[in-house]
C-alpha cells in the first residue's frame, strides 16, 4: 500500500468543479504528513487541458470516448481498477451527486470503509482521522477507519485550494478496465432554465431562510437588496415553500455562490446550504438561535430579530446614499 491520496476530479461542460481543487489542496497536506503524493484521477475524453489545471502533485488522465460524459457504471469500473492497482491510503470524492453515486458501490467493490460528509481530514500518529458534519451541522463526529485505507466523501467548501499552485505532472494512461458492454448509457444533459437573475454573478447577496416567517415578509429583504443594488437569494425551505423561485436557491440542490459579501438573514446553516456559500469572502449572519450552525462559518453575526433589523438596515443604507 502506498501513502498517496487519490482524488476524483469532477468536471462538467469543460470546467472543473471547484471542489476538485479544494480536495487537491487538502490531499497535498495529508499526503505530505504521510510521506506520499496527492494524485488526481481525471476521467474524460478530450479533456487534457483540464488535467493540466488541477492543483495536485500528479494527475492520472484516462481518456476514453465512454468517459466523455459522467456514466456511473463506467466511472465505477475505472476507479475500482485504479484503486486496486495504485493501493492509495485515502480515496477522496466530493459529497456531490457524482460522489454519492459512486462512493457506496466503490466501497463494496474495494472492501474499503467509507466515511461520508467529511469537513476535516488529518493524519494523527499515522492514522487517518476524518470529521463528519451530520444532523444539519449540529453534530461533528470523528471517525478512524478500521485498517489503513479508506474512502471519504468531502463537503464542498470544507477545504480551501492553494493559490498560485504550479501545474501538476500529467500522466495519460489507457483505461485499466474494459468499457464495453455498459448497461448504463448517457442520453443527454438536462440543465435548469435560466431564471430572472443569475445569483452566481452577484458581488453581494441578501439571502433569507425560514426565519423570514412567511412570504409576506420577503418584501423587507427585497427592499434592502434594492437599496444595496443586488437581489435576494434563499435557502431551500424558502424555495420549497414557493416564496421564491428555485433559481434563487443557494445550496447543494441549488446554486453555488461566491460573492464578496453574503448577508444571511434567518438561515440556520444546514450542511446543504453551507456547501453553496462557504466560498463567500465575507459572511454576515443574523439568527435568533446563538447555536445555529451558520455562525460556525460566519465572519460576523448577530442574534437580533431580522424583522426588526431589515427595515432599520434599509433605512440606514438609503440615508447614506
Taken in order of first residue, the domains within the chain and their CATH numbers are 5-173 (3.40.50.620), 199-319 (3.40.50.1220)
Q: Is the dihedral of CA 135, 136, 140, 145 positive or negative?
A: positive
Rounded Cα distance, 318 and 321, in Å: 5
Q: If pLDDT is split at 50, 70 and 90, which confidence band does 147 have?
A: confident
Residue 301 confidence (pLDDT): 96
Pairing of strands 58-63, 169-173: parallel
CA angle 178, 90, 49 (to 5 degrees): 60
DSSP 8-state assignment for residue 298: -
Cross-strand partners of 234: 208, 249
Rounded Cα distance, 157 and 174, in Å: 32
**Residue bearing cell 434594492:** 226
Mean pLDDT of 142-171: 82
Instruction: For residue 154, give the H/E element and its range.
Output: strand 150-154
Residue 164 confidence (pLDDT): 44
Q: Is the dihedral of CA 235, 236, 238, 242 positive or negative?
A: positive
| Three cell numbers written together for 29 | 497536506
Q: Which residue has the higher pLDDT, 136 or 293?
A: 293
DSSP 8-state assignment for residue 312: H
Q: If pLDDT is split at 50, 70 and 90, which confidence band does 193 have?
A: low
Rounded Cα distance, 28 and 16, in Å: 18
Quick one: how far is CA 142 from the chain centroid? Answer: 20
H-type alpha helices, the chain? 18-34, 48-51, 72-86, 97-110, 218-228, 236-240, 271-277, 306-319
Cross-strand partners of 122: 129
As a whole number, the mean pLDDT across the chain is 91
The model's pLDDT over 5-40, given as tens digits with 9 standing for 90+, comes to: 999 999 988 889 888 999 999 999 999 999 999 999
The model's pLDDT over 195-222, given as tens digits with 9 standing for 90+, comes to: 678 898 899 999 999 999 999 999 999 9
Q: Give φ, ψ of 250 to 5 degrees.
A: -100, 130
pTM for this model (two decimals) = 0.75
The model's pLDDT over 208-260, given as tens digits with 9 standing for 90+, comes to: 999 999 999 999 999 999 999 999 999 999 999 999 998 999 987 788 899 99
21, HSE (Cβ side, Cα atoms, 13 Å) = 20
Rounded Cα distance, 251 and 272, in Å: 5
Amino acid at each position: 500500500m502506498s501513502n498517496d491520496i487519490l482524488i476524483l476530479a469532477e468536471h462538467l461542460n469543460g470546467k472543473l468543479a471547484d471542489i476538485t481543487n479544494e480536495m487537491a489542496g487538502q490531499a497535498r497536506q495529508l499526503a505530505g504528513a504521510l510521506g506520499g503524493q496527492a494524485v488526481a484521477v481525471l476521467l474524460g475524453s478530450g479533456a487534457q487541458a483540464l488535467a493540466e489545471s488541477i492543483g495536485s502533485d500528479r494527475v492520472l488522465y484516462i481518456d476514453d470516448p465512454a468517459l466523455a460524459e459522467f456514466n456511473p457504471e463506467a466511472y465505477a469500473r475505472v476507479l475500482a481498477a485504479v484503486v486496486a492497482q495504485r493501493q492509495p491510503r485515502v480515496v477522496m470524492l466530493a459529497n456531490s451527486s457524482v460522489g454519492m453515486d459512486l462512493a457506496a458501490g466503490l466501497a463494496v467493490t474495494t472492501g474499503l470503509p467509507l466515511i461520508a460528509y467529511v469537513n476535516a481530514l488529518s493524519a494523527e500518529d499515522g492514522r487517518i482521522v476524518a470529521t463528519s458534519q451530520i444532523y444539519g451541522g449540529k453534530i461533528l463526529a470523528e471517525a478512524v477507519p478500521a485498517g489503513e485505507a479508506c474512502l471519504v466523501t468531502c463537503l464542498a467548501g470544507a477545504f480551501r485550494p492553494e493559490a498560485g499552485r504550479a501545474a501538476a505532472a500529467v500522466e495519460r494512461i489507457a483505461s485499466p478496465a474494459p468499457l464495453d458492454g455498459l448497461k448504463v448509457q448517457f442520453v443527454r444533459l438536462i440543465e435548469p432554465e435560466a431564471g430572472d437573475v443569475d445569483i452566481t454573478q452577484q458581488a453581494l447577496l441578501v439571502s433569507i431562510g425560514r426565519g423570514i416567517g412567511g412570504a409576506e415578509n420577503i418584501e423587507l429583504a427585497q427592499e434592502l437588496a434594492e437599496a444595496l443594488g443586488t437581489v435576494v437569494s434563499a435557502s431551500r425551505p424558502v424555495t420549497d415553500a414557493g416564496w421564491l423561485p428555485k433559481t434563487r436557491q443557494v445550496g447543494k440542490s441549488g446554486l453555488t455562490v461566491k460573492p464578496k459579501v453574503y448577508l444571511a438573514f434567518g438561515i440556520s446553516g444546514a450542511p446543504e446550504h453551507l456547501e453553496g456559500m462557504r466560498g463567500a469572502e465575507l459572511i454576515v449572519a443574523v439568527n435568533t438561535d446563538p447555536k445555529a450552525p451558520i455562525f460556525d462559518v460566519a465572519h460576523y453575526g448577530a442574534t437580533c430579530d431580522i424583522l426588526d433589523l431589515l427595515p432599520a438596515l434599509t433605512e440606514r443604507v438609503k440615508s447614506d446614499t
